[in-house]
Amino acid sequence: MSNSGLNIIKIGGNIIDDEVLLDSFLEKFAALPGKKILVHGGGKIATRIATDLGIEAKMVEGRRITDEAMLRIVTMVYAGLTNKNIVAKLQVLQCDAIGLSGADGGTIKAIKRPVKDIDYGFVGDILHDSVNTASIKKFLEAGFVPVFSAITHNGLGQLLNTNADTIASALAVGLSSLYDTSLVYCFEKNGVLKDINDEQSVINSIRADEFLQLKEDGVIHDGMVPKLQNAFDAIQKGVRNVYIGHANNLHLFQQGQFGTCLTLK
């Protein structure tokens, strides 16, 4: 591992869908010094366009079923409309962004999710070692800021719709062999909260052993459990820290005051 730092920031649909939030976030992202990567989720535009085109958005257990028509739409919206608008906005802010899917530069390969009980369609799962770190390193060392949409490919010409959290995590794990890598998840809360109803009750840091205790005590529950579990998995695999906090607070990241910091020990 080199001493050179890399921050991988993931934003979700709630920011993509709100132009004021997005612009404010991108300013903070652009101001972040050093090597960095942005990963963005989808947002509601894809669903809206699908509806307008008479294509029904099918969801099973919170996951979108991606048939061929829906794959075309998410490719258009995520890798085209959303990605290029973010890149154009970052360019104004002197951030030399390049928009990528996993197909570009062969950066991220995935496999079409095997059909068990549910056929998710053209959804990609990222296997171990499927991040082309050499390719991404070329972009980073050339001074570019990669902006990844949530589209990958299978290496056989098929594009695949892929969860943005998973992409961010896979990038962080893969690139932690080359850089001192931190992973930053931006979401709607100020961090992991002691009291879900109190935005001021942010837990500043959580070690792996504390996580088990907080889970047992029921402080961390529901959707936060898998989110944090995945974060600790990434840390186990070499990512230095995972941060979880509000997109609006990214400017506090450099001062170490952003959301909740997850650490191994």
Total binding residues toward its own copies, as defined by CB under 8 A: 43
Mark the segment that binds its own copies (CB under 8 A) among 59-67, 141-149, 206-214, 244-252: 141-149
By CB under 8 A, name the one of 60, 138, 229, 233 that touches its own copies.
Answer: 138
Tokens 């390969």 found at: 109
Q: Does 5 bind its own copies (CB under 8 A)?
A: no
Q: Is 43 annotated as a binding residue?
A: yes
Cβ–Cβ < 8 Å for 235, 205: no
**Residue 183, SS3?**
strand
Q: Does 115 bind its own copies (CB under 8 A)?
A: no
Mark the segment that binds its own copies (CB under 8 A) among 5-13, 97-105, 122-130, 234-242: 97-105
Cβ–Cβ < 8 Å for 152, 106: no
Q: Which CB, 49 or 65, lies closer to its own copies?
A: 49
| 151 closest CA partner among 100, 105, 117 | 100
By CB under 8 A, name the one of 53, 127, 212, 264 that touches its own copies.
Answer: 53
Mark the segment that binds its own copies (CB under 8 A) among 13-21, 111-119, 157-165, 193-201: 157-165
By CB under 8 A, name the one of 34, 155, 223, 226 that touches its own copies.
Answer: 155
Q: What is the DSSP letter of 126?
A: P
**Residue 66, SS3?**
strand
Q: What is the DSSP letter of 185?
A: E
By CB under 8 A, name the one of 20, 59, 115, 142 that touches its own copies.
Answer: 142
- Write down the least CB distance from residue 179 to its own copies, Å: 18
Q: Does 89 bind its own copies (CB under 8 A)?
A: yes
CA–CA separation, 131 vs 154, rounded Å?
Answer: 12
CA–CA separation, 181 vs 164, rounded Å?
Answer: 17
Q: Does 77 bind its own copies (CB under 8 A)?
A: yes
CA–CA separation, 250 vs 258, rounded Å?
Answer: 6
Burial class of residue 57 in the structure, from the number of CB atoms within 10 Å of its CB (0-12 exposed, 13-18 middle, 19+ buried): middle
Which of 211-232 are b and which e, b meaning 16 or more Cβ less than 10 Å from the residue's Cβ? Answer: beebeeeebbeeebeebbebbb
Q: What is the largest CA-CA distance in the chain?
A: 51
- Write down the least CB distance from residue 121 to its own copies, Å: 17
Please give the residue ranges that form the binding site for its own copies (CB under 8 A).
49, 52-54, 72, 75-81, 83-85, 87-89, 91-92, 96-101, 103-106, 135, 138-139, 142-144, 151, 153, 155-159
Residues that constitute the known binding site: 42-43, 64, 161
Residues that constitute the known binding site for substrate: 42-43, 64, 161
